[in-house]
Amino acid sequence: MAGMATRTTRRSQRRTEALSRERIVGAAVELLDSAGEGGLTFRALAERLSTGSGAIYWHVANKDELLGAATDAVIAGALPAGPGDPAAGPREEIRAVALGLFVAIEEHPWLATQLSAQMARNPWGPVTPRIFERVGRRVRALDVPEENWFTATSVLVHYVLGAAGQNAANTAGARALGPDADRAAFLDSVAKAWEDLDPEDYPLTRAAADQIRDHDDREQFLAGVDLVLAGVMTLRPAAPPS
C-alpha cells in the first residue's frame, strides 16, 4: 500500500511538473491561431494538453489572464531583447522592432485585437511597457529631448500597431475569399473601382489608384515608419553653428 501511494505521488508530481505555465500558454497560442478567441476555452485547452481543467486553473486563474499571457508571449518573441545592436543605429533598430511587430500581428490574426485590449484595459501589465520600452530606448538614442520621449514613442507605437492591425485585417479578408483568391486580381479590381470614381469628388484617389496594383505591404509599412521617424528627428536640438 505504501509503495503504491509513493508511485501515485510520483506520477502526480511528474504531471504537475510537465504541465507548466509555459506549456499552457504555448498551447493557448496554438488554439488562438487555429480557432480564434472564441475557440480558446479551458475545455479545448485541457483536451489539447491531455489534462483536466483543474490542473490548468492551478497555473492560470481565468481566460483574461490566459489571453494576456498569450499576447505577452508572442510579443516577447517578436521583439529583440537587450539594448540592441550599436552597429545598426537607432533608426534601423526602430525599423527592425516595427517589422517584428508587423510580422507577429500578420501571423497571429487574433493579436491585433488583444494588443488594443491590453493597452486600453491593462496598460500597467507586461505588454504595453514591453513595447513602449523597446521603441522608447531607440527614440532616446536618437537624441530626442527627454520631454518629447513619451510623445515621440507613443506616435511610433500607435502607427506601428494601427498599420500592422489594418494589414492583418486585410490579410484575414483575403483569406476569407478562399484559397484560390488572387491578390493581384483583387488589387486590380480595387484600382479599377477607384479609377471610376467621380473626378471632381475624388481627384487624388483616382490619381493614386494605379499605385495600388503593385504596392508591397511591408515596404509601404516601413515607408510609413520612415515618415514618422522624419518627424521625430525634427524634435532633436539644432546643432550649434560651426
Return the CA Rg of the chain: 23
Given this chain, do its domains 1-60 and 85-233 carry the same CATH topology? no
pLDDT at res. 83: 58
Q: For residues 109 and 141, what is the distance between their CA atoms, to the nearest angstrom?
A: 32
Distances from the Cα of 237 to the Cα of 130, 142, 144, 155, 234, angstroms: 28, 11, 8, 19, 8
pLDDT at res. 235: 94
Q: Answer yes or no: are the C-beta atoms of 84 and 93 closer than 8 Å.
A: yes
- Predicted TM-score (pTM) of the model is 0.85
Topology (CATH) of 85-233: Tetracycline Repressor; domain 2 (1.10.357)
pLDDT at res. 30: 96
pLDDT at res. 183: 82
Q: For residues 130 and 155, what is the distance between their CA atoms, to the nearest angstrom?
A: 16
Checking if the pLDDT of 68 tops 60, the result is: yes
* Averaged confidence pLDDT in the chain: 88
CATH 1.10.10.60 fits 1-60, yes or no: yes
- The three-class DSSP label of residue 48 is helix
Question: What is the band of 9 on the pLDDT scale with cuts at 50, 70, 90?
Answer: very low
Q: Where are the domains of the chain?
A: 1-60, 85-233
Query: Taking the chain, what is the end-to-end CA distance rounded to the nearest angstrom?
Result: 89
Q: For residues 108 and 142, what is the distance between their CA atoms, to the nearest angstrom?
A: 31
Q: What is the pLDDT of residues 146-164, one digit of tens each?
A: 999 999 999 999 999 999 9
Arithmetic mean of pLDDT, 206-212 = 93
pLDDT at res. 227: 98
- Cell 491593462 belongs to residue: 122
For residue 156, the Cα-to-chain-centroid distance in whole angstroms is 14
Higher pLDDT pick, 135 / 15: 135
Q: Which of 153, 130, 125 is nearest to 140 (CA)?
A: 153
User: Which of 81-95, 134-148, 197-211, 220-234 is least confident?
Assistant: 81-95
Q: For residues 215 and 180, what is the distance between their CA atoms, to the nearest angstrom?
A: 20
